[in-house]
Amino acid sequence: MEESGIPRDEILSILKNAKSADTSYDRVLSSMCTYPHEIAVLAHTQFIEANMGDPGLFPGTYDLEKKVLKMFGSLLHHNNDPEECGYLTTGGTESNIQAIRSMVNYRRDIKKPNVVMPESAHFSFDKVADLSGIEIRKASLDHFLKVDLGLVRSLIDENTIGLVGIAGTTEFGQIDPIEQLSEIALEKNLFLHVDAAFGGFVLPFMDLDYHYDFEVEGVTSMTIDPHKMGLSTIPSGGLLFRETEYLNDLEIHTPYLSINKQYSLTGTRSGAAVASTYAVMKHLGREGYRQVIDQCMEQTEKIVEGAKALGIEPVIDPVMNVVALQVPDADNIRKRLLDEFGWHVSITRKPRALRLVIMPHINNSTIELFLNDLEKLI
Ligand code: 0PR
């Protein structure tokens, strides 16, 4: 760091340059993030100094957090004082880490605990394993890329403390059989965490006959991320437990703050993200989100139809706005899409397919342009 500072204008020009090197979302089909809603940005900037790590100083923001938790509760069929059963995290990773940490703390009687989850679980669970030394057991998927229930059962032993199911897998947007996982969890007295980081802001706005949230009796905790399909700003995540006591398992004594306990993984925590999430959820309402999801699903269908017309099949019929396309030599096609046309797509691991996430920044003309370019490479 240099001794003397540089003027504001110069700083702004450096920032502008840096920003221009970043990718705009226009040709990004690989991300679960998007442009936040305008009202989310406005709220974020207004609460930029609010620290939820010391909420006694920010009772107004704290109150907004409770209101957001209540809205999460209503989306996820949680009727048991949701505002007392969770908090706003930095995102799916923190929520997943904390859900597992709560299980481990609750079952201190088990010395070498393990948790059973699908092979499709997000890599944040590998971080939990690395942090806590807990064993993560991964069950393979069935033909539809949902977790194989027989394999889940076979991995459970006397040291198993919980199960994880995914409502909207990162790679395929698939939903695990949460009701059946719940039956196993109830039968074996296990926790069941549902990772709806992505699906939490998609599934409630679709007419699907899936039961994946707190209305399923065995579900004990859920991850839901407003900074993905919720159109809030980064870092906005959500963690909700069925019971306050599971949140209490995360309690750490904080002797010199305005309150004497903390549940979050981070200390200092963004109040801006709280305000932003509150603002966009209140502003859009269910109706607004339904429109967003309808549009994303419409574009998803268009891309699948267009791909089929080129002789390319999806790995599974998309359940939500995530598509995996079976193209020959997917890695090479991905590279050429980027190098020759500037398209950012990603690749699924098993099978290796082109993965596209159809976020709200994708419109009709994006799809047409993309399919045109894909055709040139096939
Ligand atoms: N759970 C699920 C089901 C997820 O898909 C993700 C992230 C997480 C948890 C973790 O969430 P955070 O990243 O908020 O901690 N899924 C995306 C992924 O790994 C995240 C992402 C978003 C990656 C935007 C790239 C990107 O441009 O693919």
The CB of 28 under 6 Å from ligand 1? The reply is no
ipTM (interface pTM): 0.98
Please, what are the averages of pLDDT over each run of 10 residues along the chain (378 residues)? 97 98 96 98 98 96 98 97 98 98 96 97 96 95 97 98 98 98 98 98 94 98 98 98 97 85 95 98 98 98 97 97 97 98 96 97 96 96
Q: Is 91 a pocket residue for ligand 1 (Cβ < 6 Å)?
A: yes
Q: What was the pLDDT predicted at 133?
A: 87
Check pocket membership of 198 for ligand 1, CB cut-off 6 A: yes
195 lines ligand 1 (CB under 6 A): yes
- The tens digit of pLDDT for each residue in 6-20 reads 999 999 999 999 999
Cα of 32 from ligand 1 centre, angstroms? 6
pLDDT of residue 377: 96
Best of 225, 234, 348, 362 for a ligand 1 pocket test (most atoms within 8 Å of beta carbon): 225
Residue ranges, CATH 3.40.640.10, the chain: 39-282
User: Which atom from ligand 1 is nearest to the alpha carbon of 170?
Assistant: 5
Residue range(s) occupied by CATH 3.90.1150.10 in the chain:
8-36+286-377
pLDDT tens per residue, range 336-358:
999 999 999 999 999 999 999 99
* Mutate-to-test residue for ligand 1 from 22, 25, 32, highest number of ligand atoms within 8 A of CB: 32
Q: Is the CB of 107 under 6 A from ligand 1?
A: no
pLDDT in tens, 197-242: 999 999 999 998 899 999 999 999 999 999 999 999 999 999 999 9
Among 3.40.640.10, 1.10.1740.10, 3.40.630.30, 3.40.50.970, name the CATH number for the domain at 39-282. 3.40.640.10
Report how far ligand 1's centroid is from the alpha carbon of 197 (Å). Answer: 8
- Contact call for residues 339 and 331 (beta carbons, < 8 A): no
Distance 92 CA to ligand 1 centre (A): 7
pLDDT number for residue 32: 97
Closest residue by Cα to atom 10, ligand 1, is 92
For ligand 1, atom 11, the nearest C-alpha belongs to: 92
Which of ligand 1's atoms lies nearest the C-alpha of 96? 9
Ligand 1 probe mutation, 23, 170, 203, most atoms within 8 A of CB? 170
Q: What is the 3-state secondary structure (H, E, C) of the chain?
A: CCCCCCCHHHHHHHHHHHHHHCCCHHHECCCCCCCCCHHHHHHHHHCCCCECCCHHHCHHHHHHHHHHHHHHHHHCCCCCCHHHCEEEECCHHHHHHHHHHHHHHHCCCCCCCEEEEECCCCCHHHHHHHHHCCEEEEECECCCCCECHHHHHHHCCCCEEEEEEEECCCCCCCECCHHHHHHHHHHHCCEEEEEECCHHHCHHHCCCCCCCCCCCCCCCEEEECCCCCCCCCCCCEEEEECCHHHHHCCCEECCCCCCCEECCCCCCCEHHHHHHHHHHHHHHHHHHHHHHHHHHHHHHHHHHHHHHHCCCEECCCCCCCEEEEECCCHHHHHHHHHHHHCCECEECCCCCCEEEECCCCCCHHHHHHHHHHHHHHC
CB of 147 sitting under 6 A from ligand 1: no
Whether pTM exceeds 0.95? yes
The architecture (CATH level 2) of 8-36+286-377 comes to Alpha-Beta Complex (3.90)
